Amino acid sequence: MSFLTLDYKTLNWKTVFLVLFLLAFFIRLPFFFRDYIDRDESTFIIVAQSWVDGHLPYTQLWDLKPPITFLFFALIIKIFGKSFLAIRFFGTLLVALTALFTYGIGRWAASKKVSFWCAIFCVLLQSLFGSLQGVMSEHISIFFFTVGVYLLLSKESRFWYLTIGILFGLSVMSKLNMAYPLLALGIYFIWKASQEKKIGKYIARLTIMGVGTALLIVLTTLPYYLEGELSLWWRSIFEAPLAYSGSKQHSIWNTLPIVFVVLILFITGFKTKIIDSKSQHLQLLTIVVLGVLISFMQAGKVNGHYMIQLYPFLLIPIGIALSKLPQIRSPYQMLVGLLLVLLPMESYLEYANIVSNKSEKGSFFNGEGFDVPKYINENNIETQNIFFTEYHIGYWVLGKNPPTKAATHPSSITRDELFPFMGNARKTAMQELKYILDVVQPKTIVARSKKKIFDKKLVDLNTYIDTYLAEHYTLLATIDRGLIYQRLE
């Protein structure tokens, strides 16, 4: 019996979860062995390792994310050690559980069939294309938010509203932009209260949820308060993201195409009555989608992994609309099935890649993030103050730290707008780069071939480091695309 002829009436939560997990596991498994899939994931790992070693995020190493993202990775590292397999496995579990609760949300507004397929595509869209095979902060934040929305639709007691608030707090403290859909939900409930003349009921619920959210946020401050670093917590979590999103590199115009497409879909659906505008469940999902879109506009860009935050709530109304189209006739069902089989093409290619790497290099683990540190260890190359301008997961593999706090993420060092919030002695990218090269003087620098060390728009920084490398370093080895430079005596 294929998915296209499945008896959806027999579906239960256990069966749906099993299907979703196996699908997510199959698609994501070959990427368990990749050194890094997105530079953000590598940064989360090395900051989490610093936390495991006793240093709170932002104190020794610094990145532009709230602490719950780092806590997710830190817990895995604390329990399982330096395990890429464990990190990627729990990322897979997050994807499957998010899709499962997407199925649960869909059951309030659609049939089991529609909800099931929305969940299937939730797995696919969270796992395919670009950097989504890694474990991103969006995967973490949207899991908490999706569970919160499901409980919001299915529970009534004060205990559950407190739990919902805590889940929303976990989401916001994983990815700050989730405050926008949370605020949108608050405005929606106030509107509902005025419409239904039940102001006391809705205000009580909002208050309890607000207490849960505030409680979670306050809990993240306690370690910093005890260490006298409360101002660093505030600057890193709230002030730095606002400065980053307000930088000249980003513009609201970059987000308008996706915003217009989604708005047109909703407006068309409501106008044609394909989507029931009177359904409170669909109203709530629409509000969440609008909140996420507003957050994109405020950030001024929409990276591929940002879209993860839309899928659980956008797929359900799309699924409802598609379910009202004429049923696919038998001759075309095989074609649809074939397209679904071919959709995870990236995974098939990666399976071939890990087999090839095992045959050629003796390990399923592949990428310069493994090969460069392996070469460094085997040849006893100096790692004192090593500086990875690329493949910085190598810090974790070698058991080293970046040369400075600002160099934790390879791009943070180039962002002048972030320096006031890092608690860093240098205040500009050029000052930091000169400090690393002239004062710290790393014995080894790792870069990537056929690629500028920094963004090609940053001409001054690239010119400076290119000239410095030519005068003070020699190219010691080339490992695939990895370049290993050694400092001249």
Q: What is the pLDDT of residues 409-444, one digit of tens each?
A: 999 999 999 999 998 889 999 999 999 999 999 999
Q: Are residues 313 and 378 in the same domain?
A: no
Burial of 200 (0-12, 13-18, 19+ CB in 10 A): exposed
Tell me the average pLDDT across 448-458.
92
Copy the structure tokens of residue 77: 């590292």
pLDDT digits (tens, 9 = 90+) for 35-57: 988 999 999 999 999 999 999 99
Tell whether the model's pLDDT for residue 13 goes beyond 70.
yes
Q: How confident is the model at residue 398 (pLDDT cuts 50, 70, 90)?
A: very high
β-bridge partners, 253? none
Residue 249: what pLDDT?
Answer: 63
State the Cα angle at 380 between 375 and 382, rounded to 5°. Answer: 100
Mean model confidence pLDDT for the chain: 92
Q: Are residues 332 and 438 in the same domain?
A: no
Return all residues near 345 (Cβ < 8 A) that are at least 6 apart.
Answer: none
CA 408 to chain centre: 17
The residue ranking higher by pLDDT, 77 or 10, is 77
Residue 244: what pLDDT?
Answer: 85
CA 356 to chain centre: 29
Tell whether the model's pLDDT for residue 373 goes beyond 80.
yes
Domain extent at residue 394: 367-487
Q: Are residues 299 and 420 in the same domain?
A: no
Q: Which of 161, 93, 152, 157 is nearest to 127 (CA)?
A: 93
Residue 212, domain member (yes or no): yes
Q: How confident is the model at residue 383 (pLDDT cuts 50, 70, 90)?
A: very high
Tell me the average pLDDT across 6-27.
90
Tell me the average pLDDT across 459-463.
95
Tell whether the model's pLDDT for residue 86 goes beyond 90.
yes
Residue 290, domain member (yes or no): yes
Residue 396, domain member (yes or no): yes
What is the residue whose two structure tokens read 């909002």?
206
Tell whether the model's pLDDT for residue 103 goes beyond 50.
yes
Q: Which of 302, 228, 299, 232 is nearest to 262 (CA)?
A: 302
Q: What percent of the chain has pLDDT over 70?
A: 98
Q: Are residues 372 and 313 in the same domain?
A: no
Q: Which of 258, 263, 265 is nearest to 322 (CA)?
A: 265
Tell me the average pLDDT across 174-180.
96
Q: How confident is the model at residue 1 (pLDDT cuts 50, 70, 90)?
A: very low
Residue 248: what pLDDT?
Answer: 58
Strands 444-448 and 387-388: parallel
Domain count, the chain: 2
Tell me the average pLDDT across 259-277.
90
Q: Are residues 301 and 380 in the same domain?
A: no
Q: Are residues 309 and 438 in the same domain?
A: no
Copy the structure tokens of residue 326: 């004429």
Residue 351, domain member (yes or no): no
Q: Are residues 386 and 328 in the same domain?
A: no
Q: Are residues 333 and 390 in the same domain?
A: no
Q: How confident is the model at residue 316 (pLDDT cuts 50, 70, 90)?
A: very high
Residue 160, domain member (yes or no): yes
Q: How confident is the model at residue 142 (pLDDT cuts 50, 70, 90)?
A: very high
Q: Are residues 388 and 444 in the same domain?
A: yes
Residue 202: what pLDDT?
Answer: 84
pLDDT digits (tens, 9 = 90+) for 200-253: 888 899 999 999 999 999 999 999 999 999 999 999 999 998 888 776 566 788
